[in-house]
Copies of this chain bind each other. A is one copy, B any other.
Amino acid sequence: MGRWEPGAGGRLREAALNLYLERGFEQTMVADIAERAGVTARTFFRYFADKREVLFDAAAELEEKSLAALEAAPATASPLEAVAAALDAVAGFVERDRDLARTRYAVIMANADLRERELIKLAHMSAALADGLRRRGIGDAEASLAAETGSAVYRVAFRRWVDADDLDLRDAIDQSFAQLRTLTASD
């Protein structure tokens, strides 16, 4: 595995993700995670509320960062440009540890409940970005459409990035935006 955050939290996250991947999420117990990380179960619960939280505890921070980037976009930015700035912030966050992002994605894809949870988190972020666009004076429907389209662009780019060895997530996002323009131009 690649670079993980240091300390017991980082070791626990690495142990958990590897176990989820090896045995499946359902089959992994908190005691197994703690044992592999060389700590007690009590220590696990100092870092994570439960074993699902290992996968989703970054969602709030990610949403905050993306919203801050959207708000910092120049006033002249079009709605999709502002959304692109938000996605760029997400990409910067995710790219800090590609191995973690990929392992996490593989674990989520292998479990229907986790896929649903991920879908809900992404929808939540999309709604937050739409609200951010409304605060920039964008009309209600236009704001939703820009945010949800951006979310679609991100999901498609992320899946391509996960499967590729030498693709930058930011480049994948740019390519998806270009593909979107081609799709709508030929419509």
| A116 / chain B contacts, CB cutoff of 8 Å | 116, 120
Q: In terms of DSSP, what is the predominant structure of the interface of chain A?
A: helix
Q: Is A180 an interface residue (CB 8 A)?
A: yes
Q: Is A165 an interface residue (CB 8 A)?
A: no
On whether the beta carbons of A156 and B144 are closer than 8 Å, the reply is yes
Interface residues on A, range: 20 to 34
Contact check: which of B145, B155, B160, B183 meets A146 at CB < 8 Å?
Answer: B183
Q: Is A31 an interface residue (CB 8 A)?
A: no
Q: Could you write out 10 A-B pairs with CB less than 8 Å apart?
A: A80-B184, A116-B116, A145-B156, A145-B183, A146-B183, A149-B180, A149-B183, A151-B152, A181-B185, A184-B185
| A179 / chain B contacts, CB cutoff of 8 Å | 141-142, 145
On whether the beta carbons of B149 and A78 are closer than 8 Å, the reply is no
Contact check: which of B79, B84, B141, B152 meets A176 at CB < 8 Å?
Answer: B141
